[in-house]
Structure 1
Amino acid sequence: MKTLKLLWALVRVLLPERLVRASYGGALPVVDGRRADPKAQAVADLVSLVRDPAAQPTVEESRVQLAGFVEKFDAPCTAPVERRDITLPGADGVRPARQYIPEAIDQSRPMPCLMYLHGGGWIQGSIDTHDALCAKLAARAGVCVVAFSYRLAPEAPFPAATQDVMAGYRALLDHAEDLRIDPARLAVGGDSAGANLTASLLHSLSQGGLPLPQAQLLIYPAVDARLTSASVQALHDHALLSRPRMEWYMDQYVPEGQDRLAPEISPLMSPCLAGQPQAFVLVAGHDPLWDDGLSYAAALEQAGVPVTVSRYPGQIHGFLNLTKVVPQGDMAIAEAAQWLAFALHTDA
C-alpha cells in the first residue's frame, strides 16, 4: 500500500498544475488564510512519504537527500551562462567559489555582481545544489554572480560560516579588478541559511563601519533562533521544513553555551539595521519562516531601509530550487532577478 501511495505521490508531482489541482478536489491545506499551491502541496505530500518524521537522519544522509531532491526536481538554466570555478579566501584558507557570467553582459566594463550564499540549514547545500538558481539569476538580471562556499557545520560550527562569508566578501572588494566586477554595484544574497548569513554579514559590516554592498537579496530568510513565531507554530510539522528539523539544524550549527539571540545568529535582534542597503525579501506562506521574513522586512523598513517584499502565500520552503515541478519557483526567480537588475542599475 505504501508503495502505491508513493508512486501516486510521485506521479502527482509531475502532472500539469490543472490536473494536480483537480486531484485535490478543493482539499488543499489552509494556514492563516493562505491556501497551499497545488504543485507545492504535491511536493510536500511526496516528501512526507519519503521522510520518516519520527526518524532523525544523520548529517550525511540529510546532505545526500537535499542534493538528490534538487537534482530530480530543479530545472537547469537553459540561457547561455559561462561558469568559472575559482577560489576566494575564507577565514581559514581558500574556499571554492563559482563565477557565473551571462553571455549578454558587457565584459569590457566592470560588471555588476551578486555574491550568493546557498541555503541548507548551515549543514548542507553547496555551489552545485544551487547552480541552476545562480545561473538563472545571472542570466535574467544581467549580472555576474559569484557563489561562495562557506564551511559547514557540524564540522565547522558557528562562527566559521560567518567568518568565511566576511572574508569572501572582503576578497570580492579587494580583487574586484581581477574578477572584472564593479565594487560599487555589488549585492549580497542567499536563501534560508544563506539569507541568514547575508543578514549576519550586513550586521557585522554595519557594526564595524565597513563598506556596505549596494543591495541585499533575502529569500525565505531565517533570522530568529527563538523559533516561536506564529508561522513556525502553525507549520510545526510541515514535511519540507518542520520545527524539529530547524532545531536540529541549529543544534549542529551553534555550539553549546553560545547565545542564539546574538545578531550574528539571529539578525532580527541587530541594533545596526539603519543605513543598510535596499533589500528584497521573499517569503512563502507554507514555510515556517514566513513570519521571519516579514518581521525582518518590517524591522528594516522601520529603520529607514527601502524594502521590497515578495509574498508567495501558497508556496513551500525551497521552492526556487524546485522549478521543474513548481512553476511559481521560476516566477519568483524572474521577480528577484528583475529587482536585482534595477537595484544594480544594469541594462537587463
Structure 2
Amino acid sequence: MKIDKETEFFLKNRVKSKAKLHHLLEPNELRQDRLKQLKEDNLTPPKILSVKNIKVKSDCNQDINLRFYFPQNFKQNKKNSVIIFFHGGGFVMGNLDTHDFTCRSICIESKMIVLAVDYSLSPEYKFPYALNEAKYVIKSIPSFEKEFKLDLNNIFVCGDSAGGNLAAVLAINSSKKMTVPIKGQILIYPCVDLTLSMRSMDIFLDGMTLTFDTMSYFINHYLESKEDAVNWQASPLFVDDMKNMPETYIFAAGLDPLLDEGIAYKNRLEYFGNKVTYKLYPGQTHGFLSNSKHFPKSTECIKEIGKAAKLMATKETMK
C-alpha cells in the first residue's frame, strides 16, 4: 500500500503519544477527544463573507442547528447555489465546529452558500433519527429561498464518511422524486455499506483512527438491529434502483476500510447509466479532509470539491 509522508508521520505520532483508539472510548469521551484535537490544532478560520446560525424545528419538535456560510461573491440581487453539508464521525461524533474549517473552505472554493447540518448523534438517537432530520432539512430548503436568494435548481448535497451516507440517501430520494430536486452529490470516502463485508475492511495500520473495530463500534451505536444494515436507507449501496441519480463525485482515500464500498457504489451508479467522477488519494487515510493541519492533501481535495460543484452548477438542469 502506498502511504504519503504526512500520513505516515500522523500515524507514528498517534502511536508514540499512545492515543486511544476510538472504539475504546465512550461516545461522550470520543466527542470530547475530537474537540480537544480541534482546539490543539488551533486553525485560523478561512475568511468568508459571513456566517449565520439558525435553528429549525424538526417533525419531532426538536431543534436542528444549521449554519449558513456565505461566500464573498454573495449578492442579494441574484440566485445563489447551495451545498448542503453533512459532517462525518460515524454517526456518533462531530458537530458544526468539527467541520467549520472544512465548510468555510468549501464555501470559498465553490463560491456557493454552504449549509451545514448538526444532526442528532447516536447512540442517543438511533437510525433513522438523523436521516429523518436530514430529510426534514432538505424539505425545508424552499423556505429559505427568498431570505438567502437560493437557486432551487442548484441544490447539492455533500458529506464525508457518515455524512456521505446521509447525502447519498437524500440523492436517492431525489431520484425517486421523494424530496426536492438535488442536482449533484459530492461524497468524500462515503459509508454506504453497514454490513462490514468488504475486503478493504481488513486495511489496518498502527495509529489509524478508523478500523474494522471502529466501524463495528459506530454501527452498533447507530443501528437498532443487525437487520437494519441491509436497509438501503442505512446502506444506500443496497437500493434496488439507481436510475436517474444526480451527477456524482466521489473522493476516496487509499488507506481506508471504506475504500471498496466507495468503489462498489461508483460501479452501481455507472451500471444504471449515471454520470460519476471518481478521484482516489492513494496515500491518504480516512478522515484526511477534516484534518487539514495534518494532511495537506485536504487542501487539494477541497479545491476539487469546489471545482466539481461549479462544473455541475453550469450544466442545464434535467427535466
Aligned to 1:140: 109
What is the identity, as a one-letter code, of the residue corresponding to 1:79?
A: K
| Gap change, CA 1:305 and 1:315, over 3 Å in 2 | same
Give the conservation status (yes or no) of the 8 Å contact 1:113–1:185: yes
Q: Does the alignment pair 1:249 with 2:184?
A: no
The aligned length equals 313
AA at the equivalent of 1:342: L
Determine helix, strand or coil for the equivalent of 1:194.
helix
| Contact 1:39 1:325 (C-alpha < 8 Å) held by counterparts | yes
- Give the secondary structure class of the aligned counterpart of 2:180: coil
Runs (5+) with no aligned partner, structure 2: none
Alignment partners' CA distance in 1, 2:294 and 2:152: 36
Indicate which of 229, 233, 237 corresponds to 1:264. 233
TM-score with structure 2 setting the length: 0.92
Residue in 2 aligned with 1:322? 291
Instruction: Decide which moves more: 231-240 or 107-116.
Output: 231-240
Deviations 1:278-301 (A, max 9, x none): 011000001111112111111111
Corresponding residue number in structure 2 for 1:20? none
State the secondary structure of the residue aligned to 1:203.
helix
Matches within 5 A, 1:147-296: 147-207=116-176, 209-235=178-204, 239-256=208-225, 258-296=227-265
Asked if the contact 1:44–1:239 (Cα under 8 Å) also holds between the matched residues in 2, the reply is: yes
1:45 aligned residue: 12
Matched to 2:95, the amino acid is S
Instruction: Report the secondary structure of 2:254's partner residue.
Output: strand
* Cα offsets for 1:77-117 (capped at 9, x unmatched): 43333111112343323311000001123332121000100
Shift of 1:53: 4.4
Q: Quote the offset at 1:51 in angstroms.
A: 2.7
Shift of 1:181: 1.0
User: In 1, Cα distance between the equivalents of 2:244 and 2:116?
Assistant: 25
Cα distance in 2 for residues equivalent to 1:53 and 1:111? 42
- Partner deviation per Cα, 1:208-244 (whole Å, 9 max, x = no partner): 5433211101011001112121211133876210111
What RMSD over aligned residues (CA atoms) do the two structures have, in Å? 2.0
2:60 pairs with 1:92: yes
TM-score normalized by the length of structure 1:
0.85
* Range that drifts further, 98-107 or 45-54: 45-54
Q: 1:270 is aligned with what amino acid?
A: V
Deviation at 1:71, TM superposition (A): 3.6
One-letter identity of the residue aligned with 1:40: T
The superposition leaves residues 52-84 of structure 1 with CA deviations (integer Å, 9 ceiling, x where unpaired) of: 449711111111122222343474443333111
Gaps of 5+ in 1: 1-29
Query: How many Å separate the matches in 1 of 2:203 and 2:23?
Result: 21
